[in-house]
Amino acid sequence: MLLDRDGCARIAAIDLGTVSSRLSLARVRDGAIVDSKKHSVITDMGQGVDATGRFSAGAIDRVEAACRTFAEEARAFGATATCVTLTSAARDAENAEELLARLRALGLAPQIIPGEVEARLTFYGVAHDFPGERIAVADPGGGSTEIVVGTYDQRSAHLELEHVRSLDIGCRRLTDRFFTADPPAAEELAAAAAWSHDQFASYWDEFADRPSRFISVGGTVTTLVSLTYELEPYDSSFVHLHGLTLEEVERQLDRMSALTVAQIRELKGIQPKRAPMMQAGTIIIRELMRAGGYENLTVSESSLLAGIAATIDEALRGEKPVVGWTPELSE
């Protein structure tokens, strides 16, 4: 394994989600991320997939363009290994192979990962900040939401996962399924909320003893912090491990409920391309908290990408990956 002069492996992790395509360029030493920088693009890969079961031509083009840029950035960074994962939308799209072929032509080795693997990787990335603590971690994405309860023992490098679930509910899927008006009608918002609550209650109801700490990752919760504090520009160091109350989430949802997508785009602290899915995403966060009985959550910027980076490092060092999944790598 090639290391830089500080003894770090240089790793590129690419996550192609239903809404966002994300790149993390990380320097990793002995399984720990020393430093990293991220690049995110709203590619809306899952637009229409819930209804049609297929990627649109435009979505494939957008993701390919983002990955071409990511591959160039990885080479400039000096990455010795690159991993590309695809999640919910790619699991659902019958023409996913068309996109995979485009990515292979760029010299990448894309993998569509199961929901449970996605959940394990996300938990692993988050849990490094909470060693030895029993936590609940949720990753609400565009097409699915992963929820895990467990503990990470850093000294023994062991994950103790009590319950891992991937649910087919996300902000793009909810928007496409329930919203027809702009802004959505009160009845549409209520129906989306009721359906979301039922999905999450089916998970939380299995626990008599829920963890006291609930952590959420993803673009919706980070944007909710940014909206609450009107962050311009976005400040990752402020958002990471910041708390959000249920009252603050409800306040932002009430604020957006009467706004059109165009008006939401103008709010301070939002990434404009995220505006079309923001109401649905906020409903999901609220119902996750309500169903779980949580008045507070912790926002984490360490997510799937962090878990992938740590797992790549383990694979490069010839170790058995903690999450039980081995990534396919390209140089």
Q: What is the CATH number of the domain that holds 16?
A: 3.30.420.40
Residue owning tokens 């992963």: 146
Indicate whether 110 and 133 sit together in one domain.
no
Indicate whether 227 and 203 sit together in one domain.
yes
Indicate whether 143 and 225 sit together in one domain.
yes
Domain end among 86, 114, 142: 114
Contact (Cβ atoms closer than 8 angstroms) between residue 139 and residue 303: yes
Largest CA distance in the chain: 59
Indicate whether 176 and 236 sit together in one domain.
yes
Instruction: State the number of CA atoms in the 13 A half-sphere of 331 facing the CB.
Output: 2
Indicate whether 205 and 231 sit together in one domain.
yes
User: What pLDDT does 32 receive?
Assistant: 82
pLDDT band at 220 (very low <50, low <70, confident <90, very high): very high
Tally of structural domains, the chain: 2
pLDDT band at 30 (very low <50, low <70, confident <90, very high): confident
Contact (Cβ atoms closer than 8 angstroms) between residue 35 and residue 26: yes
Assigned domain for 60 exists: yes
Contact (Cβ atoms closer than 8 angstroms) between residue 257 and residue 279: yes
Domain that holds residue 243: 129-299
Residue 158: CB atoms within 10 Å: 10
User: What pLDDT does 203 receive?
Assistant: 95
Non-local (6+) Cβ contacts of 328 within 8 A are 83, 109, 111
**For the domain that residue 168 is a member of, what is the CATH number?**
3.30.420.150
Assigned domain for 200 exists: yes
Indicate whether 133 and 177 sit together in one domain.
yes
Assigned domain for 321 exists: no
Indicate whether 169 and 232 sit together in one domain.
yes
Non-local (6+) Cβ contacts of 36 within 8 A are 24, 25, 26, 27, 306, 309
Indicate whether 286 and 226 sit together in one domain.
yes
What are the tokens at 308?
């992938």
Indicate whether 49 and 154 sit together in one domain.
no
Indicate whether 73 and 25 sit together in one domain.
yes
Is the confidence at residue 1, as pLDDT, over 70? no
Indicate whether 289 and 159 sit together in one domain.
yes
Whole-model pTM? Answer: 0.94
| Mean pLDDT of the region 270-293 | 97
Task: Report the mean per-residue pLDDT for the chain.
Answer: 95
Contact (Cβ atoms closer than 8 angstroms) between residue 161 and residue 150: yes
